[in-house]
Amino acid sequence: MTPGDRFRAIVDQHMCTSCGLCASLMGPHKIGMVVSDHKELRPCVVGTLTNNDFAQVERICPGLRVEGPELQITPVNGEKTDLVWGPYLGMVHAYAGNPLHRWEGSTGGVLTALAAMLLKSGKVAFVLHVKASDSNPTFGVSTMSFTEADVLQAAGSRYGPTAPLSSLAQALEMDQPFAFIGRPCDVSAIGNLAEYDKRVGRLIVFRLAFVCGGPTPSLDIDRMIVRAGVDPEQVVAMRYRGRGCPGPTTIITADGKTVNKRYTDFLNTDGKTWPMHFRCKICPDGIGEGADIAVSDTWPGGAPSPTIEDDDPGTNALIIRTPEGLELVQDAEAAGFLTLGNDIGPEDLDLYQPHQRDKKYAAWARINGLRCAGKLFPRTKRLRLRGLASRMPCEFNAEQSRGAKARSQDLVPERVHQSNAKAPILTAPG
């Protein structure tokens, strides 16, 4: 197999998380992010990949490599480790102190508030995160925020295709300290890159993640839009949540119509499980183990009840993992950017995130199923997966492995076409 073939296998075997880092590092003359036939953002080889290029991709790609942090904190300064939730210094309820941040944010606006504070304090020159794409309205696009107004424009979860690290090379070239906000797998990719690009440790001074169950497959989003009575081709803007918690899903059409759906009605899965990418089903870290702080929702059972109040302002749960994260939370509270609630513990996260807990217990067996099938799989370290699996009955592990193996053999390879590489899906940062 050529290096290009080996690279294409990552997408074909559904291991790509669409982070965009390979494209950012290799440059558009080698790898472009394109829209696949599944209407996802995927990397496509447009030039010739060398063996060295592919070796670099293998090292950084979070689809293939996910590692927990080296032990950074000692029990002396309060570190605890939970088998499911990983190392942490504290867990706490919180929401943004500024009502606008809280309102615009997806849950309680904590990530928006932290980004705004980091910019105001001058601790970072910009924040690298994601905002709505202008050219593909259901998608997200990597962006750099330099002001509070930029940050507010990017508030809210984007469930459609997004490549949060597609501007990382540009961001590093700016040679200024910055914060990154994104999915746990994006944070893993940054950790992978940090091993051989020393600028990463020096310049990315905060890594903030949200707890992540995975984006919604793009074709399923289109089906939801159709169910909301809108032709997906007519959508010019889309906001998934925020403006309350979860807030409405808002679709704006080319003829100026605004359709607001309750979030629970928009996502309505008719009793079936939420649609999810295959890679996310085997995700070994959806809880941001490599982040300074991981931020989540606080709905008991993991999803808002259909009768949730429309005007709930939202409260986040925070897993504070590093001393830097702890100091940031303390500073943010002192400066009024965050309002802290009561301390919580792993049992609260089990209540809010049963899907994350269950996936963590199943991850080792599922990944093993891929290994047995001879497929690509994420190589993991320091995520306690074997220890978690050892707590489960043998029949459970066997069933999870068998299921993952069978699913992996049924997957239809996604097709990416070089001609789509010019699709205007990545905007310049700013």
Q: Crossing angle of helices 3-12/51-60, nearest 10°?
A: 30
CB atoms within 10 A of CB 423: 15
Calculate the CA dihedral of residues 338, 344, 350, 354 and round it to 10 degrees: -20
Nearest one of 237, 239, 234 to 261, comparing CA atoms: 239
Question: What is the length of the chain?
Answer: 430
One of 3, 43, 232, 429 touching ligand SF4 (CB under 6 A): 43
One of 155, 204, 225, 328 touching ligand FAD (CB under 6 A): 155
Select the span of 79-87, 156-164, 405-413, 414-422 touching ligand FAD (CB under 6 A).
156-164
CA distance 40 to 198: 31
CB 378 within 8 A of CB 64: yes
Give the burial class of 281: count Cβ atoms within 10 A of its Cβ; 0-12 exposed, 13-18 middle, 19 or more buried.
middle
Tokens 């990017």 locate to 154
Contacted entry of ligand SF4, ligand FAD, none for residue 316, CB cut-off 5 to 8 Å set by kind: ligand FAD
Q: Residue count at the site for ligand SF4 (CB under 6 A)?
A: 25
CB atoms within 10 A of CB 144: 20
| Centroid of chain to Cα 266 | 21
Q: Which of residues 277-296 bind ligand SF4 (CB under 6 A)?
A: 279-280, 283, 286
Work out whether 224 is an interface residue with ligand SF4 (CB under 6 A).
no
Work out whether 154 is an interface residue with ligand SF4 (CB under 6 A).
no
Contacted entry of ligand SF4, ligand FAD, none for residue 41, CB cut-off 5 to 8 Å set by kind: none
Work out whether 10 is an interface residue with ligand SF4 (CB under 6 A).
yes
Least distance in angstroms from the C-beta of 191 to ligand SF4: 13
The continuous run of DSSP H or E covering 351 comes out as helix 346-352
Work out whether 19 is an interface residue with ligand SF4 (CB under 6 A).
yes
Least distance in angstroms from the C-beta of 184 to ligand FAD: 10
CA distance 141 to 134: 9
Select the span of 35-43, 48-56, 125-133, 367-375 touching ligand FAD (CB under 6 A).
125-133
CA distance 61 to 65: 6
Least distance in angstroms from the C-beta of 20 to ligand SF4: 5
Both tokens of residue 391?
């707590």
CB 275 within 8 A of CB 59: no
Task: Determine phi and psi for 340, rounding to 5 degrees.
Answer: -90, 140
Work out whether 17 is an interface residue with ligand SF4 (CB under 6 A).
yes
The continuous run of DSSP H or E covering 409 comes out as helix 394-410
One of 8, 12, 16, 126 touching ligand SF4 (CB under 6 A): 16
One of 44, 154, 320, 344 touching ligand FAD (CB under 6 A): 154
Residue type, 58: E
Give the burial class of 251: count Cβ atoms within 10 A of its Cβ; 0-12 exposed, 13-18 middle, 19 or more buried.
buried
Select the span of 16-24, 123-131, 132-140, 169-177 touching ligand SF4 (CB under 6 A).
16-24
CA distance 336 to 347: 28
Select the span of 49-57, 105-113, 248-256, 332-340 touching ligand FAD (CB under 6 A).
105-113
User: 47-86 mask for ligand SF4 (x: CB under 6 A)?
Assistant: ----------x--xxxx-----------------------
Which residues have a Cβ under 8 Å from the Cβ of 44 and sit 6 or more positions away? 31, 32, 33, 34, 416, 417, 418, 420, 421
Residue type, 149: A
Work out whether 18 is an interface residue with ligand FAD (CB under 6 A).
no
Q: Which of residues 349-378 bind ligand FAD (CB under 6 A)?
A: 353
Contacted entry of ligand SF4, ligand FAD, none for residue 45, CB cut-off 5 to 8 Å set by kind: none
Work out whether 357 is an interface residue with ligand SF4 (CB under 6 A).
no
Least distance in angstroms from the C-beta of 30 to ligand FAD: 24
Work out whether 141 is an interface residue with ligand SF4 (CB under 6 A).
no
Ranges assigned E (strand) in 328-370: 338-343
Least distance in angstroms from the C-beta of 15 to ligand SF4: 7
One of 8, 39, 93, 129 touching ligand FAD (CB under 6 A): 129
Applying CB under 6 A, which residues contact ligand SF4?
Answer: 10, 16-22, 43, 57, 60-63, 183-185, 212-215, 279-280, 283, 286
Residues engaged in binding ligand FAD (CB under 6 A): 105-112, 115, 129-131, 140, 154-159, 162, 164, 181-183, 210-215, 242, 295-297, 316, 353
